[in-house]
Amino acid sequence: MTDIMDTDIKYKLRVFFIVFTLCFIVVSCDRERKDNIAYLTFVNNSEKSVFLFYSIAYPDSLLDKSNGGCDNVLPHSKCESLNRLGWNYSNEYEILQFFVFDSDTIHKYGYNHLQNSWILKKYKYSEQQLEQMNWTVTYP
């Protein structure tokens, strides 16, 4: 009887160990990019909610929400955004631009007619810089 219980316990421990190991591997994987898909983490360390949009239209400051970003990131929180651009730069400078806007302004006026004067902060990074920063943009 004890041999059966010991075998059952050993089996359950093995299954638990395998499941635990697989979970650990999945969680600890780096932000590998497969088919040019990468996650960008945006950290809002400010006291206000903000929107983040990004653009590959460097050196132009074309503001287009359709490129992607993070909507209404609460104070002292973060957002992980799956890129919609593939991080394939269509500009010769290979620069990705990030624009931070006050959420109240976007809620009041919408983002169909974004204006440069609404930008709280503008960041310009190369892919190499983003790699060094672990694909994390922090505001402010």
Q: Are residues 79 and 125 in the same domain?
A: yes
Give the pLDDT confidence score for residue 3 in this predicted structure.
58
Q: Are residues 47 and 22 in the same domain?
A: no
* Helix residue ranges, H only, 29-98: none
* Strands, E assignment, 13-135: 39-44, 50-55, 69-73, 77-82, 95-102, 119-126
Token code pair at residue 58? 């460097």
| Residue 46 binned pLDDT confidence (cut-offs 50, 70, 90) | very high
Q: Are residues 83 and 123 in the same domain?
A: yes
Q: Are residues 8 and 66 in the same domain?
A: no
Q: Are residues 94 and 47 in the same domain?
A: yes
Distance CA 34, CA 51 (A): 26
Whether the pLDDT of residue 28 is over 80: the answer is no
Whether the pLDDT of residue 99 is over 70: the answer is yes
Domain encompassing residue 64: 39-139
Model confidence pLDDT, tens digit, residues 53-81: 888 777 776 666 656 788 899 999 999 88
**Bridge partners (DSSP) listed for residue 126:** 95
Distance CA 139, CA 46 (A): 7
Do 38 and 137 meet the contact criterion of CB atoms below 8 Å apart? no
Q: Are residues 114 and 71 in the same domain?
A: yes
Q: Are residues 81 and 54 in the same domain?
A: yes
Q: Are residues 91 and 108 in the same domain?
A: yes
How many domains does the structure of the chain reveal? Answer: 2
Q: Are residues 54 and 94 in the same domain?
A: yes
Whole-prediction pTM: 0.68
